[in-house]
Amino acid sequence: MHSSAVFLIEFGAVILGLGLLGRLAGRFQFSPIPLYLLAGLAFGEGGLLPLGASEEFVAIGAEIGVVLLLLMLGLEYTASDLVSNLKTQYPAGLVDATLNALPGAVMALLLGWGPVEAVVLAGVTWISSSGVIAKVLRDLGRLGNRETPVILSILVLEDLAMAIYLPIVTALLAGVGLAAGSVTLAIALGVAGLVLFVAVRFGRHISRFVSSDDPEKLLLVVLGLTLLVAGIAQQLQVSAAVGAFLVGIALTGSVAEGTHNLLSPLRDLFAAVFFVFFGLHTDPASIPPVLLPALALAVVTACTKVATGYWAARRAGISVKGRWRAGGTLVARGEFSIVIAGLAVTAGIEPSLGPLATAYVLILVIIGPLTARWTEPLARRLIRPKPAAAPAADTAAAEPKARETQRG
């Protein structure tokens, strides 16, 4: 009885604190993710007030948070949209992966870590935060801008890449051999391809089966189906997050819209718990030693994301201003980077990886909204276009003609 009372007090205090932190972030119009991570650091090992009774429940809530984050992300896209993006924007996806994954891998090797850690850190630095970027686009009123489809295409390609990347990381962290890892990857690719095929051909039928006029029944069916598929995917050593993402893709139309409205509050709650859980497993004293590498990595990968967005927007025929806006908007890292680092922390590999990822995300989730707002004005001031000589020559040549015309 006493332990249950302590659990309720601890968990209630955590949820109340997260709500207040969310309000604070909303007042200053920035992402609450860094505040959630700092709260986890405060309540974790080595923090100000370590949790005890409620830590196991927080761990389960964190797993549900990852599943809901990916489900809601999948609901944003239809299978046809994904196929179209793959066909038209894959060069931008390749440039994005090369420019932004490589610095993470190089940093891991420079720190003396192994190849598995290099693959994990490459994923941490590669993936932009869809949640933070979507909020920034809304706040800045840029959803209708010409560069916004380019930004969203890159985010979609990153999300699709996770369907391949996460099973690879899961297999590497589990220490399975080459043959078993190949089987895991083949299963992941097969399942992803099958779900996309079924979603394109039979998406309406699936949505009709899930659909219900009663919000309670719709919530229970979709949530139960998502957790079931995520659990089966994890049992097959395919990431549970990928399973949830594919469920979201399969749901379309009014079902997807209704599910989004119903599950948004749950997603926000459990996602906040997830960020706290990650912070709980990071000792604050372990962050200062990795702060300099995290800062260097943040600076380098902020520049590579700007270059990625600029190149992709230029390829799409966007104006110079739109290119800089696209690059600056892509800088923020967040939920996916923490998901990837969380897999490594749970597996118990390099102990410095979790603190480095925490510091890295904290830096870029704060800087990201600032680069989205100020990259284009700053670039306009620093890179002023040279005056064109041709118009002046044309004007000079035109003056005698005008005089002749007047004389005539």
**pLDDT value for 400:** 47
Length of the chain: 408
Judged against a pLDDT cut of 90, whether residue 110 lies above it is answered with yes
CA torsion angle for 211, 212, 216, 219 (degrees, to 10)? 0
Asked if residues 363 and 122 have their Cβ atoms less than 8 Å apart, the reply is no
In percent, the amount of the chain with pLDDT more than 90 equals 20
**pLDDT mean over 142-169:** 82
User: Looking at the predicted structure, is the pLDDT value of residue 272 above 50?
Assistant: yes
pLDDT of residue 401: 43
Per-residue pLDDT for 2 more than 60? no
E strand or H helix at 378: helix 353-382
State the Cα–Cα distance between residues 263 and 24, nearest whole angstrom: 23
Q: Specify the pLDDT at position 112.
A: 93
| pLDDT (0 to 100) of residue 179 | 60
- pLDDT for 118 equals 93
First to last CA, the chain: 107
Higher pLDDT pick, 361 / 13: 361
pLDDT at 152 over 70: yes
Residues 6+ apart with CB under 8 A from 140: 372, 373
Name the residue type at position 284.
P
Query: What is the pLDDT at residue 208?
Result: 79
Residue 22's contacts (CB-CB under 8 Å, 6 or more residues apart) are: 32, 35, 272
User: Does pLDDT of 250 surpass 70?
Assistant: yes
Alpha carbon 363 to its chain's center: 15
Could you report the per-residue pLDDT of 60-89, keeping only the tens digit for each? 887 888 788 778 877 876 766 666 766 777
Q: Could you tell me if 103 and 171 are in contact, meaning their C-beta atoms sit under 8 angstroms apart? A: no
What CA dihedral angle connects 40, 46, 52 and 58, to 10 degrees?
A: 20
Q: What is the pTM of this model?
A: 0.73
